[in-house]
Amino acid sequence: MCDHSSHQLGQGGREDERACEERVLDPGRRRALLEGLFGAGWLGLRSLATGVPVALLANPRRALAADDPACFSKTNAQYLILSTSGSGDPLNANVPGTYAFPTIAHSLDPLMAKTSFKLGSTTVEAAMPWSTLPQTVLDRTTFFHHTTLTNNHANQPKVMKLMGGTRRDEMLPSFFASQLAPCLGTVQHEPVVVGASGSGEFLSYQGRVLPALSPSALRDTLANPAGPLGTLQALRDADLDRLNAVFKAHGTAAQRTYLDRLAQTQGEARGISQQLLENLTAITGNDPTNQVLAAVTLIKMNVSPVVSMHIPFGGDNHTDADLAGETKQTVAATATIALLMQKLTDLGLQDRVTFAAMNVFGRTLAKKGTTGRDHLANHHATVMIGKGLRGGVVGGLVPQAGDFAAMPIVSATGLGDPAGDIAFSDTLSAMGKTLGTALGVSSAALDETIMLGKPVKSALAA
């Protein structure tokens, strides 16, 4: 596993990729990576092959139908694929809500033309690339305007902790992972980071910085000719034979019926193996497209509740003539999101995975026109897409100090309003609570860990 955290970054801001991949290909490191991802004895892969939960494989004589007491709702629990950037990309600059003011600068490139489209029943205006997402995706897409309370790259970890808004100094993705893992039965509770960009973002879990797994390392570990995906059918047969023997000797009729209902057929195991191999062999590098392939594969393998990746939307574009870089990356970014949604659908995960894009801060909207954008603490926009969300826009903007700021929010309607019951300074935490609710995290857990704000009811699906 390639660690791109700060203590291993070399000259130029990142570890030498080729040397890193050569170490991953070493048989000993490959075994360590497999056990790190799938647990001792490859329980995660065996669960994938059989259709039987990891806990049941590990302890087959345990009461089968009992819910994990730490799980709030298995029905509502969602996986999360999170895109984050320490660069402070201009993600906020071209989304719905930013076209209401003529002084907000936008690229004049026809590819970024102001375009009307629908988010659910709401008609909005935004840059054309957002309108190209399938309507089924737009119907569950929420654009959430908020502050991040910082304009400093180095505060990316603090933004992940809602700028001091979480108890125990816990990062939001790690809190979500700890809550969702018992419900989803994942191999590990920790998030998985794929494709670190070298732009300053990282995640931690219980105080430990998480290493980054490159998509190419995942491909070379799982999709090589002797890789474990080629043995899924054999793993399935051996485990089901073992479980059937246990339940024939010790189980009840109801337990045996439960096992039969869970178990994958040989054809199903073969189909899963083929789908995952096709995704893995399509990986050609470590860019966002390849991160998508790695992320959906890890989710399908039930490795972790949360996978983090990096989709650039223009980077740290202080100088960007005609906003050309912003244009190019925004067009590419929305295409990457569309690819992610299609891959999730191909794997039958479209109703089980929520996507969010959340960065360290936003960029100025008016100050420099189309010559570039500086850091802006007062406004950012998080994009959230998933079954638990209703298409629309939360919050809004107001002119402030020569640029713009996010507005307070009315929690019942999602409208930006100076008298809103979610104060400007609490909008970041409100975004976190809204996302957590959409993921299926209990309101009690959200209130206990996220100390400020409240979920926005209008953004949540009924």
Taking only the tens place, the pLDDT of each residue in 76-127 is 999 999 999 999 999 999 999 999 999 999 999 999 999 999 999 999 999 9
* Average pLDDT, integer, range 10-25: 42
How confident is residue 244, by pLDDT bands cut at 50, 70 and 90?
A: confident
Query: Regarding predicted confidence, which is higher, 278 or 457?
Result: 457
pLDDT given at position 196: 57
What digits encode the pLDDT tens for the residues 117-132? 999 999 999 999 999 9
pLDDT given at position 1: 41
* Average pLDDT, integer, range 56-70: 63
Beta bridge partner(s), residue 188: none
pLDDT reading at 63 higher than 50 = no
Is 166 within 8 Å of 172 (Cβ atoms)?
yes
pLDDT given at position 252: 78
Average pLDDT across the chain, whole number: 87
CA gap 188, 190 in Å, rounded = 6
What digits encode the pLDDT tens for the residues 333-387? 999 999 999 999 999 999 999 999 999 999 999 999 999 999 999 999 999 999 9
What digits encode the pLDDT tens for the residues 129-187? 999 999 999 999 999 999 999 999 999 999 999 999 998 889 999 999 999 999 998 88
Q: Which residues are CB-neighbours of 305 under 8 A, at least 6 positions away?
A: 77, 79, 80, 176, 177, 180, 181, 184, 186, 189, 191
Would the pTM count as exceeding 0.85? Answer: yes
pLDDT reading at 3 higher than 70 = no
Which of the listed ranges 18-22, 40-44, 357-361 does the model predict with the highest average pLDDT? Answer: 357-361
Is 78 within 8 Å of 387 (Cβ atoms)?
yes
Q: Which two tokens stand for residue 423?
A: 């104060």
CA gap 458, 11 in Å, rounded = 47
How confident is residue 21, by pLDDT bands cut at 50, 70 and 90?
A: very low
416 Cα distance to chain centroid: 26
How confident is residue 11, by pLDDT bands cut at 50, 70 and 90?
A: very low
3-state secondary structure string across the chain: CCCCCHHHCCCCCCCCHHHHHHHHHCHHHHHHHHHHHHCHHHHHHHHHHHCCCHHHHHCCCCCCCCCCCCCCCCCCCCEEEEEEECCCCHHHHCCCCCCCCCCCCCCCCHHHCEEEEEECCEEEEEEHHHHCCCHHHHCCEEEEEECCCCCCHHHHHHHHCCCCCEHHHCCHHHHHHHHHHHHHCCCCCCCEEECCCCCCCCCEECCEECCEECHHHHHHHHCCCCCHHHHHHHHHHHHHHHHHHHHHHHCCHHHHHHHHHHCCCHHHHHHHHHHHHHHHHCCCCCCHHHHHHHHHHHHHCCCCCEEEECCCCCCCCCCCHHHHHHHHHHHHHHHHHHHHHHHHHHCCCCCCEEEEEEECCEECCCCCCCCCCCEECCCEEEEEECCCECCEEECCEEEECCEEEECCECCCCCCECCCCCECHHHHHHHHHHHHHHHHCCCHHHHHHHECCCCCCHHHECC
How confident is residue 199, by pLDDT bands cut at 50, 70 and 90?
A: low
How confident is residue 61, by pLDDT bands cut at 50, 70 and 90?
A: low
Q: What percent of the chain has pLDDT over 70?
A: 87
Query: Regarding predicted confidence, which is higher, 322 or 252?
Result: 322
* Average pLDDT, integer, range 324-336: 98
pLDDT given at position 211: 86
